[in-house]
Amino acid sequence: MPRIVFLGPPGVGKGTQATTLAQQLGVPHLSTGDLLRAAVAARTPLGLEAQGHMDAGRLVPDDLVLKILGERLAAPDAARGFLLDGFPRNLAQAERLAGITTIDLVLSFELPAKLLIERLAGRRVCPTCQSVYNIVTRPPKVEGKCDRDGTALVQRPDDRPEAITTRLAVYAEQTAPLLGFYRKSGLLRSIDAAGTPDEVAARVRNALH
């Protein structure tokens, strides 16, 4: 039963890799960012509380994130294992996660800051099916339209330049210390996140063996 955490800065390609690996392993891809964005879109009380933090690029308070993730982890499909993408984001979350479940492996995705900014600034998403594109490295077949359903692609509010700067600073201050935390427990494997999604996926598969 694989219980894997995907760790890395915003823009590193964790979500893309987690989607691929989750399909291969047959376990759910649990992205706290996606869960929160769905709550925002549905205008639930939790979503309304989270939205301002997210749009500014700050972390959403731990209790809100733990609530939404705890509910998702309790669903029957997560009993077979899961890929956690975007959680934990600080030491308090890592400690609370350890109280809920065991983690078998932590994959740390690494990429120079300049490339992270390029990937974030070029990212476009489909508001209907959540497919992710990049105007430079992974453009849709028809400019501005989703390949799967033709919906007009949009930019996430937190992929605008001011929010990108905040998100990278939040990562360095609050999330990067988790590398030491998981290295000490012997769970950490580093993945070079440069190159195409297929190249990175091959490195992920190697790290699993």
Active site residues: 14, 89, 123, 156, 167
Residues 6+ apart with CB under 8 A from 150: 142
Q: What is the CA radius of gyration of the chain?
A: 16
Nearer to ligand AMP, 84 or 188 (CB): 84
What does the per-residue mask of binding to ligand AMP show for 49-68, with x meaning CB under 6 A?
----xx--xxxx----x---
Contact pick of 158, 188, 191, 203 for ligand AMP (by CB under 6 A) = 158
With 0-12 / 13-18 / 19 or more C-beta atoms within 10 angstroms meaning exposed / middle / buried, residue 158 is buried
Token duo for residue 23:
């399909």
Residue 88, preceding peptide bond in cis (omega within 30° of 0): yes
Asked if residues 193 and 207 have their Cβ atoms less than 8 Å apart, the reply is no
The three-state DSSP-derived secondary structure of 48-90 is HHHHHHHHHCCCCCHHHHHHHHHHHHCCHHHHHCEEEECCCCC
What does the per-residue mask of binding to ligand AMP show for 27-46, with x meaning CB under 6 A?
-----xx--x----------
Q: Does 153 interact with ligand AMP (rule: CB under 6 A)?
A: no
Nearer to ligand AMP, 89 or 119 (CB): 89
Token duo for residue 131:
């497919």
Q: Provide the minimum distance between the beta carbon of 60 and ligand AMP in the complex, in angstroms, as a whole number.
A: 4
Only one of the segments 21-29, 41-49, 81-89, 96-104 lies at the binding site for ligand AMP (rule: CB under 6 A); that segment is: 81-89
Asked if residues 86 and 32 have their Cβ atoms less than 8 Å apart, the reply is yes
What does the per-residue mask of binding to ligand AMP show for 84-123, with x meaning CB under 6 A?
--xx-x---x------------------------------
Q: Provide the minimum distance between the beta carbon of 131 and ligand AMP in the complex, in angstroms, as a whole number.
A: 14
Which residues contact ligand AMP by CB under 6 A?
Answer: 10, 32-33, 36, 53-54, 57-60, 65, 86-87, 89, 93, 158, 167
